[in-house]
Structure 1
């Protein structure tokens, strides 16, 4: 599998991670400059600077100035934590990374990014933006990463650049995703839109039409069921911290490419028989902190499943065939993580053969149940 956005620290499929994926938390501007560093892009820019400084040539008079209060170096412009109420003027036209996070900007205007045709990544995280002009992103023809979390948006901004690969728009006030909201974004691989007050009815039919996502997170929302018509291309789907009560037979039928499914911290009582059979490539399944009373049926037939989180449920019995198939060689990969702690099951009553397809005894986590 090849992913085209190297910074997707959470978008890259982690098949055997011991914990569930968390939302991207940008603590500093360099957090999303790391991908350029890894791919040599930032190093190339640094070499350019060294060649210029080592050549003995004086700067030309037309070198663009850095906006007041900002820090400009190596085509990176940092204007964070300055109390700005609007996008600053005179941003150098060769800027690759623009950091505007942690300010008081309330609106993105039509000409705010004029001339920034080389911009690769933009962070407006943690501002007060509630309004975006339909043409605000028009000059950003090569932008691939947009960090828009912790603002006051109520809808997906219009006319996002077709070059966009990664969109982080969690912790806004989005209640509705209209049909065609992501139209023209055929290069998009990752969308993080958790912590928005969106219900199932908030997704209009065709909301994700045309997208070929690898990663989608809609956690900490107000979902009561698995949303319909999500992109079939998904490798990771995270719907944790919602109000989902059941997984019905057709809920997962579109997602045959899923490697990782996160349904932890919901209200799930039932997973309809046969639901998991639509996920032949699944490696990791998170069903912890729900209300299940039994191990979901269908796990033994999942040849590649390696990690199953079932802790903090109401499971009182574990059968000898709940996890492993009976036939020899039917499972391609052994489990390396099964969590069953904080369930009312007597672990000493579980037959040892129950975990015959587990690679290591330390992979099984039971613990004591305390009500």
Structure 2
């Protein structure tokens, strides 16, 4: 009987040590609920992660694929870092068991697309890092279950298209980073439902067109960064549609076509008390050629004056030309009349009567 009891005790101790043991290549800290497996040269996910782990770091490894239900034994995870690997695909339902996960970092990988079930099980997620991957388009179905997300980082991908309502489930999103992508235009409906968004960073894209109501849904927007795009002109109503208490707008590094219309738009925007053009004094002209590299603030008061002068010159020239034509026609008529015989002139007078 005593032998049997000792056997059970040994089995219990072994079972506990087995369940809490640390995978080779990892550092485990039970008191911190932290398991770090960074730089361990893993080509597959480790098999033994201590059940107390809430923070798991798998950064800087050689992982290429995240299979379905990969973390079904790590349900307590709150932070999962898998950045700086070679991951090219994530299976449907890879994170379905992580009901407490608050931060997921998949940045600096090779992910080119997200499956429809990518976000399944991630209802508690607050931060998603997908920067510096190979994503080229965004689909609303990939983010369907991220209704608690507050920060989404998509910096440094090759995104050229965002489908309407791609962020439709993210009513609590506060920060959206899309800098360094290949976006060309912003269409109405792209940012619908983002009523809580405070920061929208679109710096370093190729945006040259924005529809009038594209920013309207974002009623909490505090910072709009459109610097270093391909915008040559802007429209007053596009930014007037931002109905917030205070919004700071960055527009530096765009190839502005400095003309009277642009000057009028900026003059009106600067008069709107809730809009702040923080880098207005750094805006420079790209066209016309004679104004290239001049600061907009140095020439804006002269743009409309110059256009008025040009219009006046053209108008005067046209008037002079018309008057000259009338005078010449009158002289020709009189000359022709003097050159006729008196009998022809009399007949001409009779016909006039």
TM-score by length of structure 1 reads: 0.66
Verify: 1:344 aligned to 2:344, yes or no. Answer: no
Verify: 1:313 aligned to 2:284, yes or no. Answer: yes
Verify: 1:257 aligned to 2:257, yes or no. Answer: no
CA apart distance, 1:312:
4.5
RMSD, aligned α-carbons:
2.5
Aligned to 2:61: 103
Tell me how many residue pairs correspond in the alignment: 265
Among 274, 279, 289, the alignment partner of 2:237 is 274
Aligned to 1:70: 26
SS at match of 1:271: coil
Moved more, 148-157 or 81-90: 148-157
Q: Distance in 1 between matches of 2:210 and 2:55?
A: 42
CA displacement 1:188-223 (0-9 Å, x = unmatched): 1111112111113xx233322221111111111111
Structure 1 residues 107 and 349, CA gap change in structure 2 (3 angstroms): closer
SS at match of 2:240: helix
Verify: 1:299 aligned to 2:269, yes or no. Answer: yes
Return 5+ residue gaps in structure 1 as ranges: 1-59, 317-341, 351-371
> Relative contact order (C-alpha < 8 Å, sep 6+): which is higher?
1
Mapping 1:231-242, distance limit 5 Å: 231-233=193-195, 234-242=197-205
Larger relative helix fraction: 2
Verify: 1:285 aligned to 2:249, yes or no. Answer: yes
Q: Which has the larger radius of gyration?
A: 2
Q: Distance in 2 between matches of 1:186 and 1:349?
A: 45
SS at match of 1:181: helix
Aligned to 1:161: 122
Verify: 1:144 aligned to 2:102, yes or no. Answer: yes
Structure 1 residues 254 and 111, CA gap change in structure 2 (3 angstroms): closer
Q: Distance in 2 between matches of 1:284 and 1:276?
A: 11
**Contact 1:82/1:103 (<8 A) preserved:** yes
Q: Distance in 1 between matches of 2:205 and 2:284?
A: 16
Aligned to 1:186: 147
Structure 1 residues 129 and 349, CA gap change in structure 2 (3 angstroms): closer
Moved more, 282-291 or 246-255: 246-255
Q: Distance in 2 between matches of 1:346 and 1:208?
A: 37
Return 5+ residue gaps in structure 2 as ranges: 1-12, 288-292, 302-353
Mapping 1:108-119, distance limit 5 Å: 108-119=66-77
**Contact 2:64/2:87 (<8 A) preserved:** yes
Mapping 1:4-19, distance limit 5 Å: none
Verify: 1:204 aligned to 2:163, yes or no. Answer: yes
